[in-house]
Amino acid sequence: MTLAPVRKYDRVLSMLLVLADMVALPISFLLTWFTRTIILFDVPGFYHQFRVYQTIIPIVAFLWLISFAGAGMYRPRRDMGSLDEVQRLMKALFYLAVSMMAANYLMKQDYSRLMLFMFTGFSLPVTLFFRSIARKVARRLVWISEEPRILVVGTGEVAAMLVNAMMRLPGKHPEVVGFISTVSSPPDSVDGFPVLGSLDMLGETVGRLQVDEVFFAAPEMDRSSMLDLISAASDNSVHYSLVTDLFEIATGSTDFDDISRLPIIEIGHSDPGIVHRVMKRLMDIVVSLVLIILLMPLMVAVWVVLRLSRSGSPVFTQTRVGLRGSRFTLYKFRTMRPDAAEYEVAPVSMDDSRITSIGRILRRTSLDELPQLFNVLSGRMSLVGPRPDMPFIVERYSSWQRHRLDVKPGLTGIWQIMGRKELPLHDNLEYDFYYIRNQSLMLDFAILLRTAAAIVRGRGAY
């Protein structure tokens, strides 16, 4: 499908924003160095040479990308005001300053704290300047003659309120191409905009009219039906959002920025962008490799104990389904008796007779999961993501549940930290969809920290 101009602009802008930041970083550093050594040369306590700081610029660049991606600075946002961008940039720079201080401590190198604070201060105006250039260049590369094209699902009061809110937006208004009806006898138009057809025409209408965003504004519509529709029309880069109620604002992920402060939740498949994917993969490689090196003596010890116990092969292998439905071999330390059926229901209690005495210890401490670090290092899994399901379970997925396969499965995830096996499978899927819809590096960091706490407590580890 040919992308609408706004979607092309979003993709180009995301890449240009990364380039702008990589230009802003060394310029901010040079300004900091000049100020510290020329203007503030008489301030005592500085003795480093230029090359000392020059060598750590790649590390700062890595931390910069992670911090900015975590603050959502690489997600193009329509009609983002200057104040909103400054607030987000300050949040990203705060993440960067904290991560640089942590790196300074871990490297056991006494870098100048004054240099760090000056660098953070200079980065704000310099980054804003180069990001403004990136936006101008993006508009020249992908000329946009119209504002985002909006399609509204629903023809009732909520749909009319949504369109009225769009018309009150400052500047150029989004272009409302029309409505999709959810009832059997729809009106011909809503507030002067045409009703283009019924729900079964959603996918065809989105492609034919090059729609940028679809808003579900029909409170009576069943959520499963909504996700089925999105799944059927998922071969494009259109954004799907739900105009929701105050209860879901309190319990879900809400974005007020786009449509005049209406409660909007982004739903369906949401690609966080190539920057997120690259940074997430780098984090997977670095963390899994470090953990494998550090924990190798422990893994060898567990392997030897399992081998001496004569309870089957120390490493249990099983076929699981990963990204885009691809199958791979998952590795775990064996915790169940070798005569247990491979695809039986997993234990829900430590009293399960299939679990060996050593297996109880491994499950309670989650040491049985350590071999999966090799799955992460190889790229078949990620540190954080949905749990990889078995093929016969995936075969029973509905169309909207298959979106679980849009991201790599993870060694841990929201389901694991919220209750692990104390939660039923359907709650597991709901948590996974929350993660897919809201994935970010900062969310990954939070899940990893909560996972460590869950392992210590041993909650739900059967």
List pLDDT tens digits, range 119-144. Answer: 888 998 999 899 989 888 887 887 65
Distance CA 96, CA 24 (A): 14
- When the pLDDT of each residue in the chain is averaged and rounded to a whole number, the result is 78
Residue 171 has what pLDDT? 60
Is residue 153 within 8 Å of 176, Cβ to Cβ? no
Structure tokens at 427: 């709650």
Adjacent-strand bridge partners of 239: 213
Least confident of 57-71, 156-170, 202-216: 156-170
Residue 438 pLDDT exceeds 80: no
CATH 3.40.50.720 fits 149-267, yes or no: yes
Residue 79 pLDDT exceeds 50: no
**Max CA distance (Å), the chain:** 80
Task: Please indicate whether residue 17 or residue 227 has the higher confidence score (pLDDT).
Answer: 17
Residue 409 has what pLDDT? 92
On the CB side of 54, how many CA atoms lie within 13 Å of its CA? 3
**Would you tell me how many other CB atoms lie within 10 Å of the CB of residue 24?**
22
Task: Please indicate whether residue 109 or residue 288 has the higher confidence score (pLDDT).
Answer: 288
Residue 32 pLDDT exceeds 70: yes
Task: Please indicate whether residue 93 or residue 174 has the higher confidence score (pLDDT).
Answer: 93
Cα 48 to Cα 33, 247, 332, distances in angstroms? 11, 55, 48
Is residue 195 within 8 Å of 177, Cβ to Cβ? no
Backbone angles phi, psi at 111, to 5 degrees: -80, 155
Residue 183 has what pLDDT? 84
Task: Please indicate whether residue 327 or residue 250 has the higher confidence score (pLDDT).
Answer: 327
Average pLDDT of the residues in 344-352: 63
Q: 441-457 and 274-308 are packed helices; what angle lies between their axes, rounded to 10 degrees?
A: 20
Domain boundaries in the chain?
5-141, 149-267, 274-457
Distance CA 264, CA 309 (A): 56
Residue 253 pLDDT exceeds 50: no
Distance CA 458, CA 452 (A): 10
Cα 121 to Cα 117, 167, 175, 330, distances in angstroms? 6, 38, 39, 47
Residue 367 pLDDT exceeds 60: yes
Average pLDDT of the residues in 77-95: 70
Residue 254 has what pLDDT? 40
Structure tokens at 182: 């959810």
Least confident of 15-19, 66-70, 114-118, 400-404: 400-404
Residue 260 has what pLDDT? 44
**Would you tell me how many other CB atoms lie within 10 Å of the CB of residue 31?**
17
Distance CA 328, CA 331 (A): 10
Residue 250 has what pLDDT? 38
Residue 377 pLDDT exceeds 60: yes
Categorize the per-residue pLDDT at 211 as very low, low, confident or very high, splitting at 50, 70 and 90: confident
Residue 357 has what pLDDT? 85
Residue 450 has what pLDDT? 82
Average pLDDT of the residues in 17-34: 91
Q: Mapping DSSP to helix (H, G, I), strand (E, B) and coil, where does residue 215 land?
A: strand
**Would you tell me how many other CB atoms lie within 10 Å of the CB of residue 351?**
9
On the CB side of 438, how many CA atoms lie within 13 Å of its CA? 18
Residue 80 pLDDT exceeds 60: no
Structure tokens at 192: 């002067």
Is residue 341 within 8 Å of 333, Cβ to Cβ? no
Least confident of 294-298, 322-326, 329-333, 434-438: 434-438
Least confident of 21-30, 287-296, 341-350: 341-350
Residue 44 has what pLDDT? 56
The continuous run of DSSP H or E covering 382 comes out as strand 382-384
Categorize the per-residue pLDDT at 422 as very low, low, confident or very high, splitting at 50, 70 and 90: very low
Categorize the per-residue pLDDT at 439 as very low, low, confident or very high, splitting at 50, 70 and 90: confident
Give the highest mean pLDDT range of 165-169, 322-326, 447-451: 322-326
Task: Please indicate whether residue 220 or residue 323 has the higher confidence score (pLDDT).
Answer: 323
Task: Please indicate whether residue 28 or residue 222 has the higher confidence score (pLDDT).
Answer: 28
Residue 321 has what pLDDT? 93
Cα 32 to Cα 61, 356, 423, distances in angstroms? 16, 60, 52
